């Protein structure tokens, strides 16, 4: 399993190459911004037609992470669906796959700005939750400690062997950890963006996802 181990709020955490966060001591797997049903939502609203395989691909990767970590708890950190109608429009296979992933474990849906209401797919539905010293919510708050959030879809750029590589990335400093988007059809915000610079201190690190995750000073 491709991963980078790092310390946050006194806890040993692992950033997986897939973009998931693994907390071994709590047997907790956290993913953010799945945006399931994005291709359906775009088509429904008159946008371009995209291959309708994004939800299944995202769920397949999530299933692989669950199989490799065997978590007791899974937290989906908001914007799990691209909008409320997207959860209703899911096909039978996708709903069955989610039910199978939930079996035998605690499943928490954190509310996001794309999916603010409850969804009828099992699990708990919370605005935020606190486990041990960590608080899980969708959008970072201005004054916080030991916060794990998503929302911004951060990406970071690395110059290696004469070429630039940009990948989804975890961003972490001493008070907050921002997860990359896990969903297949998700854009991203560069770590050099003013919004992210304002949220994270000058000692912040970026952990680039992919087959060989890399931890570097957060590019600004």
pTM of whole model > 0.85? Answer: yes
Give the per-residue pLDDT at 185. 63
Q: Would you write out the chain's pLDDT as a tens digit for each of its 220 residues?
A: 599 999 999 999 999 999 999 999 999 999 999 988 654 544 445 555 545 567 888 999 999 999 999 999 999 999 888 666 656 667 888 889 999 999 999 999 999 987 766 577 889 999 999 999 999 999 999 889 999 999 999 999 988 777 888 999 999 999 999 999 998 767 789 999 999 999 999 999 999 999 999 999 999 9
CA–CA distance, 213 with 177 (Å, rounded to integer)? 16
Class of CATH domain 3-217 = alpha beta
Where residue 110 falls (left for φ over 0; alpha for ψ -120 to 50; beta otherwise) is beta
CA–CA distance, 9 with 92 (Å, rounded to integer)? 40
CA–CA distance, 49 with 59 (Å, rounded to integer)? 21
Is there a contact between 27 and 131 (Cβ–Cβ < 8 Å)? Answer: no
Is there a contact between 138 and 110 (Cβ–Cβ < 8 Å)? Answer: yes
CA–CA distance, 26 with 13 (Å, rounded to integer)? 10
CA–CA distance, 23 with 133 (Å, rounded to integer)? 12
DSSP secondary structure, 180-199, as one string = PP-SSS---EETTSHHHHHH
Give the per-residue pLDDT at 153. 96
Give the per-residue pLDDT at 137. 97
CA–CA distance, 75 with 149 (Å, rounded to integer)? 11
Give the per-residue pLDDT at 18. 97
Question: Residue 62: exposed, middle, or buried by beta-carbon count in 10 A (0-12, 13-18, 19+)?
Answer: buried
Give the per-residue pLDDT at 105. 97
Give the per-residue pLDDT at 26. 98
Domain ranges in the chain?
Answer: 3-217
Give the per-residue pLDDT at 206. 98
Give the per-residue pLDDT at 83. 62
Please name the residues in contact with 189: beta carbons below 8 A apart, sequence gap of 6 or more. 152, 153, 154, 155, 195, 196
Q: Which residues is 185 bridged to in the sheet?
A: none
Is there a contact between 186 and 31 (Cβ–Cβ < 8 Å)? Answer: no
> How far apart are the two ends of the chain, measured CA to CA in Å?
29
CA–CA distance, 24 with 13 (Å, rounded to integer)? 7
**DSSP code of 153?**
-
Give the per-residue pLDDT at 43. 46
């Amino acid at each position: 399993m491709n991963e980078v181990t790092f310390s946050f709020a006194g806890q040993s955490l692992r950033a997986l190459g897939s973009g998931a966060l693994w907390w071994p001591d709590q047997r907790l797997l956290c993913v953010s911004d799945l945006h399931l049903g994005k291709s359906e939502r775009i088509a429904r609203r008159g946008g371009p037609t995209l291959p309708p395989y994004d939800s299944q691909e995202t769920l397949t990767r999530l299933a692989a992470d669950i199989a490799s970590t065997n978590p007791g708890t899974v937290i989906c950190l908001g914007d799990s669906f691209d909008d409320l109608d997207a959860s209703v429009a899911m096909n039978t296979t996708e709903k069955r796959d989610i039910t199978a992933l939930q079996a035998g474990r605690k499943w928490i849906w954190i509310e996001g700005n794309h999916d603010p209401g409850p969804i009828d797919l099992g699990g708990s539905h919370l605005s935020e939750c606190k486990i041990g010293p960590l608080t899980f919510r969708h959008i970072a708050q201005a004054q916080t400690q030991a916060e794990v959030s998503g929302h911004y879809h951060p990406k970071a750029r690395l110059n290696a062997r004469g070429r630039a590589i940009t990948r989804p990335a975890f961003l972490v400093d001493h008070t907050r950890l921002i997860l990359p988007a896990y969903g297949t059809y998700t854009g991203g915000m560069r770590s050099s963006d003013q919004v992210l610079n304002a949220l994270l201190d000058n000692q912040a690190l970026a952990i680039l996802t992919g087959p060989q995750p890399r931890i570097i000073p957060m590019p600004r």
